[in-house]
Amino acid sequence: MIRLEKRPQPSRAFSLATPLLAVLATMVFGGLMFAVLGKDPVTSIITIFWQPLFGEFAFYYRPQLLIKGAPLVLIAIGLSLGFKAGIWNIGAEGQYIMGALFGAGVGLAFYPMESFIVFPMMVLAGAFGGWLWAMIPALLKVKFGTNEILVSLMLVYVAEQFLASMSLGLMKNPEGFGFPGSRNLQQYNSAFNADLIEGSGMHWGVVAALIAVIFAYVLLTKHRLGFAIRVTGEAPRAARFSGVNPTRLVLFCLGASGLLAGLAGLFEVAGPAGQVTIDFNVGYGFTAIIVAFLGRLHPIGILLAGGLMALTYIGGDIAQSQLGLPAAAIQVFQGMLLFFLLAFDLLTNYRLRPGRTEVA
């Protein structure tokens, strides 16, 4: 029999190795699943992990990686700050939608005026929208002690209704022949979040994501606030004792994650998506939760995890179209990744020991 024994202190080696082990285990068990579905496991895994990067059509897929990865990283960085402190913002999807609506709203309000000021204004509005939406669970939590998990999650559905209402009403394209959805911001130069280098997929959202990674890294390792976040997550009483104000921390963590999610929404609506439509949101806000944990709540880890997750998305799409794998199988595959990550995570704090038999 095998027993678990708590380590005297967390293993650094395992903390680093866990994500790799999880990816390997996902490949093995995902491959088994594909085999059961009647697909060649090796081909499937290669299609998912290799094709997007180095395959025949990689020139098309590589920019897609950035486009998919950037919002994931941007949102996950914000979420990780709260998660580290034990503050659970589950509603990034809603904040993402509100950021897009606020940002697009500002852009559409200026239409058709061309000015360099329009896009920065939209960025500010997007950040504000996401921040505002996150402040609702934050204020309810600090004033009335409500559970931020529930409130932020429920607000996702409220935001979705807003999105539907906006794309059918206020923001509907007056020249859109009655179809739902706003004007296409890609056709409005001052508002378009275009690729910085044509065809590279490198838009302002990617830049923002990289800045967020660096900012979060410095915050967590060098700054008092980052230390307060970490202590609060590790030992809330010790944090209070050291002088951390829990109210302010809740406001900061939820506010920052909302702000970054709002930015992600803005960059998406002004760039790759182009318009406000009913089905604008595709679940980045929820997937970012997986990205945050896959990256071990560490900024660099999140950067890598965001890339990996984008890879499975795009690879999954290719596998669907080329091999005919069902979409659900791809989702199970992504779910496995989180499952194995959490399972192997145990080894950071525990070690396996062969159980001893009775001593005579």
Partner 1 sequence: MNEKPLLELSGLTKAYPGVVANDDVSLRIAPGEVHALLGENGAGKSTLVKMIYGLVKPDAGRMQMHGTGFAPAEPRAARAAGVGMVFQHFSLFDALTVAENIALGMEDAPKLRTLSQRIREVSDTYGLPLSPDRVVGDLSAGERQRVEIIRCLLQEPKLLIMDEPTSVLTPQEVEILFKTLRKLSAEGTAILYISHKLEEIRALCDSATILRLGKVVGHCTPSETSARDMAEMMVGTVLKTPTRAGKTPGDVVLSLTGLSAKSPSAFGMPLREISVEVRAGEVLGIGGVAGNGQDELLAALSGETLSAPGMIAFRGRDVSVLGPTPRRAMGILTAPEERLGHAAAPDMSLTENAMLTGAARENLDRGGLLDWSAARSFAERIISTFDVRTPGPGNAARSLSGGNLQKFVIGREVLQRPDLLVVNQPTWGVDASAAAAIRQALLDLAENGAAIIAISQDLDELMEISDRFAALNEGRLSPPRPAQGLTVDEIGMMMGGAHGMEVAHV
Nearest to partner 1 of 224, 331 (CB atom):
224
Residue number, 32 or 235, with CB nearest to partner 1: 235
Q: Please tell me the distance from the alpha carbon of residue 137 to that of residue 358, in angstroms, as a whole number.
A: 54
Q: Looking at 20, 54, 117, 223, which residue binds partner 1 (CB under 8 A)? A: 223
Q: Judge contact between 357 and 1, C-beta under 8 A.
A: no
Establish if 248 lies at the interface with partner 1 (CB under 8 A).
Answer: no
Rg of the chain (C-alpha set): 22
247 forms part of the interface with partner 1 (CB under 8 A): no
Stretch that binds partner 1, among 75-83, 89-97, 101-109, 240-248 (CB under 8 A): 240-248
59: Cβ contacts below 8 Å, ≥ 6 apart: none
In whole angstroms, how close is the CB of 3 to partner 1 at the nearest point? 11
Cα distance between residue 302 and residue 296, in whole Å: 7
For residue 279, count other CB atoms closer than 10 A to its CB: 12
Least separation, in Å, of the C-beta of 34 and partner 1? 39
Q: Tell which residue, 103, 87, 98, 122, has the closest CA to residue 252.
A: 87
145 binds partner 1 (CB under 8 A): no
> Least distance to partner 1 from the beta carbon of 11, Å?
11
- Which of 112, 197, 200, 222 contacts partner 1 by CB under 8 A? 222
Give the C-alpha separation, 96 to 130, whole Å. 6
Number of residues that bind partner 1 (CB under 8 A): 24
Q: Could you say whether residue 4 binds partner 1 (CB under 8 A)?
A: no
Q: Residue 336, Cβ neighbours under 10 Å: how many?
A: 18
Provide the binding-site residues for partner 1, judged by CB under 8 A.
Answer: 8-10, 222-225, 227, 230-231, 234-235, 237-243, 245, 356, 358-360
